[in-house]
Amino acid sequence: MTSISMTVNGKPASGEVEGRTLLVQFLREDLRLTGTHVGCDTSQCGACVVHVNGEAVKACTMFAADADGADVRTIEGMANADGSLGTIQQAFQDHHGLQCGFCTPGMVMSAAALLKDNPKPTEAEIREYLEGNICRCTGYHNIIKAIQAASGQLTAVAAE
Partner 1 sequence: MSVHQSNKHDSAPLHVTGQAHYVDDIPTPEGTLHLAFGTSTCPHGHITQMDLDPVRAAPGVVAVLTDRDIPGRNDVSPSPTPEPLLTSDLVEYHGQPIFIVVATSHLAARRAARAARIEYAPLPAILSLDDAIANPTRFDAGGKERVYTKGKPEIAFDKARHVIKGSFDLGGQEHFYLEGQAALCIPGEGAEVTILSSTQHPTEIQHKVAEALDIPFHAVTTITRRMGGGFGGKESQGNHLAIACALASRVTGQACKMRYDRDDDMAITGKRHPFRLQYKAGFDEDGRLLALDMTHYVDCGWSQDLSLPVADRAMLHTDNAYHLSDVRITSHRLKTNTCSHTAFRGFGGPQGMVGIERVMEHIAQTLGRDPLEIRQVNYYKPGAGGQTTPYHQPVTDNIIHEITEALLASSDYAARRAEIEAWNRTSPVIKRGIGLTPVKFGISFTLTHLNQAGALVHIYTDGSIRLNHGGTEMGQGLFTKVAAVAASVFGQPIDAVRITATDTAKVPNTSATAASSGSDLNGMATYNACMTIRDRLVHFASDFFVCDPKEVVFRDGIVDIAGAEFPFADLVKEAYMARISLSATGFYATPEIAWNRDAGRGTPFYYFAYGAAVSEVALDTLTGENRILRADILHDVGNSLNPAIDIGQIEGGYVQGAGWLTTEELVWHPSGALWTHAPSTYKIPACSDRPKVFNVDLFDGENPAQTVYRSKAVGEPPLMLPISVVSALQHAVAQAGGDPLFDLPATPERLLNAVERGHGRGW
Contacting residues toward partner 1, per CB under 8 A: 28, 32-42, 44-45, 47, 74-76, 78-79, 85, 89-90, 92-94, 96, 98-105, 108, 126-128, 130-131, 133-144, 158-160
Biggest CA pair distance of the chain: 53
CB-based contacts of 142, cutoff 8 Å, min separation 6: 95, 96, 97, 98
Q: Shortest distance, CB of residue 70 to partner 1, whole angstroms?
A: 19
C-alpha dist (Å) from residue 66 to 38, 70, 88: 19, 8, 28
Q: Which is nearer to partner 1, 69 or 107 (CB)?
A: 107
Let me know: does 8 contact 31? Beta carbons within 8 Å.
Answer: yes
Nearer to partner 1, 4 or 89 (CB): 89
CB of 125 to partner 1, least distance (A): 11
Give 90 or 153: the residue with its C-beta nearer to partner 1. Answer: 90
